[in-house]
Each structure stands twice: as structure tokens, then as C-alpha cells.
């Protein structure tokens, strides 16, 4: 993407082709690399420390993303012709990816005996705990159909367009700092963090319909907190509940099936246009509530 922006700035067709090719390659290799990444995390981090690892990653990453926002603003304000400012941003992003690749390569992965048998993707489905976990993940993914529409609702229905920057800052702040709380809670088990996160999601969706415009920022605070809780708890539970011999199959199966619902916001947009925002938010609240109830039967990690 960076090379396309540097080389094809005067040819929009080639620029678009290079950009889309970069996105395609990024999506392809992210899918390929995610499985060994989580395998290495599971091998190198004890189960009782994984929640702290993910919390620290979110905390530091959120802080760096906050600082990166200022860098992006400065780069885009440089007196350079299009698309050179974006090319510079893509190049800086590539350097950051390269540094992450190098640091990950320094990880000393414990040796394990190679598995002779072929991976059985149906093996995790024989576990009642995994089936229940998968049901929770699918409900959470489907409930995500309302996530992008808090901001749309604030602008269209409440006339809060001027406050949108503040709302996004509140979201980022809550997402980053709430990890301190979720890490402490996860020491007693990630299932409780998942339940609290789903409960906060229900509260946020109902608050979006009930709060006056002047207090709508609370919805974004709740959204940042519950998305951080759900992200941390679902990842930790998946790694901790899967037996080592079935871990790769469980990770691949869960992430693939949940990924199929990544386009649920498209359905959310359709429902918002046809039925209105109240119906969309109430449906999402119901899905989060069902996920909360289903999560109560999950076993604690051992």
C-alpha cells in the first residue's frame, strides 16, 4: 500500500488497484498468521497470566494509538500533494509492523512433540463447554450489528454532530483504562469479566434510548468498557478452555465461525433504515442478554 501511494499517485486506477491488493494481502496473511500467533501465546504464557497479558497489551496499545492520532493529524497537515501524506502514514505503519514482527521473532517458543495425526476440526465440537462458548461468541458477534450506530444515532436523531470527537475520545479512554479493572477481575476468572461486559452492553444500548442528548457521552464510555471486557474475556477463555491437543482446531474453528458474522453491521444498517434505531438497539440488547445468560453455564478456567 505504501509503495502504491508513492509510485502511482498520478494514476488513480493503479493507485486503487495497489491499495485493494494491499488490503487483500493483509487480510489473507492476517488470517494465516493468527493461528500460530495464538498458539505461541498459549505456549509461552501461563493460563493465570494470559488475561494480564491481554490487558497490558490493550492498555499500552490504546495509549500508543491515542498518541498516534496526533501524529496522523500532523502528517496529514503537511504541505505535500496527494497521496504523499498517506504514503508516509502507510510507510510508518509498515515500519511499526516490521518492528512487531522482529520482536515476535525473539520469542522463545517451547518445543513440543510434532502431532502425527491430522487436525480434527470436529473434535472441539464434542466438548459441551466449547459448544457453549461458541454459542456465546456467535451471539456476541451478531449483537455487534449495532456497534457502529451509536455515533450515527447521536448525529441523526440527537443532533450531536459537534460532540462526535468528544464521544470518540471518551470511547478510547474507557477502552484503554478499563483494562486495569478487567485484569484484576480476570484473576478470579474470565467468565465473570465476560458476563459483566455483556451486562454493560445491555445497559449501554438501553441508555442510548433513554439518556438526554447532554448525557449521551456516557454511552460511549460504556461501549469502550464493555468492548474491552468482551475482547479480553473471550480470548482468554478460548485459550484456557481448549485442551492443548485441540487448541489449534478450537482457535481456528471459533475465529472462523465468529468471523462469518463480522458483516453483521451491514444487517444493522438495513434494520436501522427499515425499522429505526430503537428497534436496532433493542434487538442488540436482547442478543447481548442471551449471551449473558448462556455464559453463566461456562466452566471457569482451570
pLDDT digits (tens, 9 = 90+) for 137-181: 999 999 999 999 999 999 999 999 889 888 988 998 999 999 999
Residue 121 lies in a domain: no
Q: Is residue 65 part of a domain?
A: no
Per-residue model confidence (pLDDT) at position 10: 85
pLDDT at position 117, please? 65
> Residue 34: which residues within 8 A CB-CB, separation 6 or more?
251, 255
| Same domain (yes/no): 96, 135 | no
Q: Alpha helices of 106-189 — where are they, by DSSP H? A: 128-143, 149-156, 164-186
Based on the fold, state whether residues 226 and 93 are members of the same structural domain. no
In a domain, 50, yes or no: no
pLDDT (0 to 100) of residue 248? 85
Domain match, 256 and 134 both? yes
Return the beta strands (E) in the chain as ranges: none
One domain for residues 152 and 264: yes
Domain ranges, residue 18? 2-44+77-105
Cell representation of residue 216: 449521551
Q: How many domains, in total, are found in the chain?
A: 2
Q: Is residue 55 part of a domain?
A: no
Q: What's the predicted TM-score (pTM) here?
A: 0.83
Angle of CA points 111, 118, 132, to nearest 5°: 90
Residue 112 lies in a domain: no
Question: Is the residue at 40 inside a domain?
Answer: yes
The C-alpha atoms of residue 209 and residue 167 are separated, in whole angstroms, by 16
120: in domain: no
Q: How far is CA 85 from CA 68, 80, 100, 239, in A?
A: 15, 6, 23, 40
Q: Judge contact between 299 and 192, C-beta under 8 A.
A: no
pLDDT tens string 285-302: 999 999 999 999 999 775
Task: Mark whether 36 and 167 lie in a shared domain.
Answer: no
Asked if residue 92 and residue 131 are part of one domain, the reply reads: no
Beta strands in 29-137 (DSSP E): none
Please say whether the beta carbons of 211 and 218 come within 8 A. yes
CB contact set of 5 (below 8 Å; sequence gap of 6+): 15, 18, 19, 83, 84, 86, 87, 90
pLDDT of residue 115: 67
Burial label, 212 (beta-carbon count in 10 A; 0-12, 13-18, 19+): exposed
Helix (H, G, I), strand (E, B) or coil at 114: coil
Q: Residue 61: in which H helix or E strand, if any?
A: helix 47-76
**Does one domain contain both 171 and 220?**
yes
Distance between CA atoms of 1 and 168, rounded to whole angstroms?
27
| Same domain assignment for residues 210 and 100 | no
Helix axes 164-186, 47-76, angle to 10 degrees: 160
**Residues 202, 233 within the same domain:** yes
Peptide bond into 83 cis (omega under 30): yes
If asked whether residues 138 and 251 sit together in one domain, one would say yes
Do 230 and 92 share a domain, yes or no? Answer: no
* Whether residues 156 and 231 fall in one domain: yes
Q: Which residues of the chain have pLDDT under 50?
A: none
The predicted structure's pLDDT at residue 229: 96
Q: Is residue 114 part of a domain?
A: no
* Residue matched to cell numbers 483504562: 177
CATH code of the domain covering residue 160: 1.20.1250.20
Amino acid at each position: 500500500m505504501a509503495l502504491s501511494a508513492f509510485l502511482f499517485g498520478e494514476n488513480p486506477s493503479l493507485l486503487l488497484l495497489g491499495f485493494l491488493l494491499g488490503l487483500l494481502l493483509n487480510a489473507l496473511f492476517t488470517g494465516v498468521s493468527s493461528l500460530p500467533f495464538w498458539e505461541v501465546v498459549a505456549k509461552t504464557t501461563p493460563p493465570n497470566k494470559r488475561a494480564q497479558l491481554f490487558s497490558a497489551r490493550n492498555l499500552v496499545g490504546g495509549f500508543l494509538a491515542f498518541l498516534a492520532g496526533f501524529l496522523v493529524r500532523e502528517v496529514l497537515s503537511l504541505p505535500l500533494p496527494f497521496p504523499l501524506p498517506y504514503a508516509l502514514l502507510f510507510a510508518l505503519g509498515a515500519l511499526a509492523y516490521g518492528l512487531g514482527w522482529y520482536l515476535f521473532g525473539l520469542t522463545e517458543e517451547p518445543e513440543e512433540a510434532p502431532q502425527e495425526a491430522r487436525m480434527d476440526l470436529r473434535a472441539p465440537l464434542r466438548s459441551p463447554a466449547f459448544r457453549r462458548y461458541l454459542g456465546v461468541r456467535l451471539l456476541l458477534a451478531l449483537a455487534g450489528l449495532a456497534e457502529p450506530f451509536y455515533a450515527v444515532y447521536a448525529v441523526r436523531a440527537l443532533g450531536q454532530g459537534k460532540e462526535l470527537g468528544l464521544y470518540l475520545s471518551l470511547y478510547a479512554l474507557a477502552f484503554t483504562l478499563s483494562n486495569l479493572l478487567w485484569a484484576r477481575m480476570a484473576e478470579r476468572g474470565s467468565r465473570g469479566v465476560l458476563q459483566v461486559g455483556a451486562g454493560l452492553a445491555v445497559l449501554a444500548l438501553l441508555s442510548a434510548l433513554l439518556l438526554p442528548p447532554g448525557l449521551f457521552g456516557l454511552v460511549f464510555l460504556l461501549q469502550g468498557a464493555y468492548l474491552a471486557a468482551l475482547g479480553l474475556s473471550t480470548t482468554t477463555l478460548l485459550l484456557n478452555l481448549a485442551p492443548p491437543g485441540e487448541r489449534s482446531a478450537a482457535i481456528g474453528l471459533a475465529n472462523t465461525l465468529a468471523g462469518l458474522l463480522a458483516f453483521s453491521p451491514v444487517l444493522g444498517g438495513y434494520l436501522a433504515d427499515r425499522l429505526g434505531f430503537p428497534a436496532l438497539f433493542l434487538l442488540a440488547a436482547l442478543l447481548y442478554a442471551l449471551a449473558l445468560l448462556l455464559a453463566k453455564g461456562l466452566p471457569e478456567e482451570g
